[in-house]
Amino acid sequence: MKKITGAEAILRSLKEEGVDTIFGYPGGAIMPIYDKMHKEDCSIKHILVRHEQGAAHAAQAYAQVTGKPGICFATSGPGATNLLTGITNANLDSIPTVFITAQVPSHLLGSDAFQETDMVSLSMPVTKWNYQVTKAEEIPEAIAKAFHFATTGRPGPVLLDITKDAQLNTLDYRYKKIKSIRSYNPVPKLKEDDLNEAVKMIKESRKPMLLAGHGILLSHGEKELLAFMEKTHIPTAVTLLGKSAIPEDNPWYVGMLGMHGNYAPNILTNEADLIIAAGMRFDDRVTGDLKRYAVKAKIIHVDIDEAELNKNVQADLPVNADIREFFKAITPRLNYKAGGEWLDEFEKLYKTEYEKVIQPECYPENGKIRSGEAIKMLSDKTKGEAIVVTDVGQNQMFAARYYDFKNPNSLITSGGLGTMGFGLPAAMGAQVGAPDKTVVLFAGDGGFQMTFQELGTIFQYNLPVKMMVLNNNFLGMVRQWQDLFMDKRYAETNMPTPDFPKLAGAFGIESHVVTSRENLETAIEDMLNSEGPYLLEVKIEKEANVFPMIYPGSAVDEIVLE
């Protein structure tokens, strides 16, 4: 053992956990860590963001594309509180992230010292685990615990708040990874009785439907899910965060659930006699009116987090288990195939949606450019192989609907929190995590303006993110609700925007604006063929709405097409 400072212990411990990238922003209280990082020529890459919220979103996206926890540094006070939106976002979407914030010296705690903020209390409701470190010798074990909690069971964000004196003082350093913690049992054991009952319920069903959520991707259970679908032919829909778990050309994939999801899976949720909910939490955007949800179905709900079972929807068979292990165990036991006539019902409703919604959105013959056609064209040009990052709003729903995802974890979006401004910093984090992949951002003009300072980070590290800003000079989704439910009273949603190409140019980023359909294809090709970062502003139909839509308070089978 060798005596080292707490700051050095933090960096060494992160290396022990395989960390190669940190997103952060320095400041007074965290300066000892940054000094040690610089002085020791630390092998961990640091990405200097332009705002701490950007670091949080970038770390989340990095985690999603790499499968490793995202790491984020911030100083005390405002630096730390600027992380809270990103921490909440990671918590609601179950993303493994480790946030390390600095704190004032321990002897000043509770004195309202300069830039002192009680981050443990503030972050407690939105972290899986948090802890304040006040002594250097606590650092190795605290970091080991942080990684264990963040990455096991249902993953999520953790926060370590480390006082400045703990960073400066010395300790006898020894690191030991944690494999288990007493009373913490993150992976429940799959019960034989649950498997047998699930097999029985599936065999007795005539109109089964599988709802695949984010848990499929978090458990790395895509292959097991596809094997189950291949054997049973059960029509399978996905939640927004379940998108990309299934290649969209799979014959038993029937689309996306939810408020702006596909027509067939929403309508037929109330015709199904069995619903298998796999790693999803029955979010209100999926269920609509709970009293009129899945009215004819028995429900098997499988989730690794016992707190999600019977929380929103009462299950006939709640199964507390890892979803990957569930599919791995149940598929060999089944000798069952769903009837072709049940699948035909999905196909008929899809044709209706295609004629009334998809065709006019993706292949319009006149008028202004539509978001759907721009996204579908880019999807075709990239063959569904890009990593797609979205902001929040209409751009998010259009991207989820019209990009044809081929690979797992290729949609990075803010699901549970719906954070405007998420897109640009997340795209930057995704590109850092997947440097050899094409990363495409779809953003509205409103959300893009919330965090466009991160263009500076993209420029500094020459991250070749392809940014498509869909500009309608509106807060589009809010305006849609004002259109539908507030008699077109567009209160504070009409938004003048900057000259986006000039804005990109100020950061040394190549850009272009397209206003006519005739130039759209060439503009998209130019963007994709560019070597570095590129911003393409697409002037779209100003008052276009996203359909289908389940109106607030409606049942899923009351989804409207126009």
Residues identified as active-site = 52, 114-115, 164, 477
Residue in the block written with tokens 């895509």: 222
For 39, residues 6+ apart whose C-beta sits below 8 A from its C-beta are none
For 297, residues 6+ apart whose C-beta sits below 8 A from its C-beta are 209, 269, 272, 273, 274, 275
Cα–Cα distances in Å, from 378 out to 51, 138, 175, 317?
A: 30, 50, 47, 42
Amino acid at 376: K
494 bridge partner residues: 474
Q: Tell me the C-alpha distance between 161 and 110, whole Å.
A: 14
80 bridge partner residues: none
DSSP assignment, residue 41?
T
Give me 199's structure tokens: 């097999």
Nearest to 13 by CA among 113, 206, 145, 150: 145
Q: Tell me the C-alpha distance between 22 and 139, whole Å.
A: 18
For 543, residues 6+ apart whose C-beta sits below 8 A from its C-beta are 472, 474, 479, 483
The length of the chain is 562
Amino acid at 529: N
Q: Is 48 exposed, middle or buried (0-12, 13-18, 19+ CB in 10 A)?
A: middle
Nearest to 205 by CA among 246, 237, 235, 245: 235
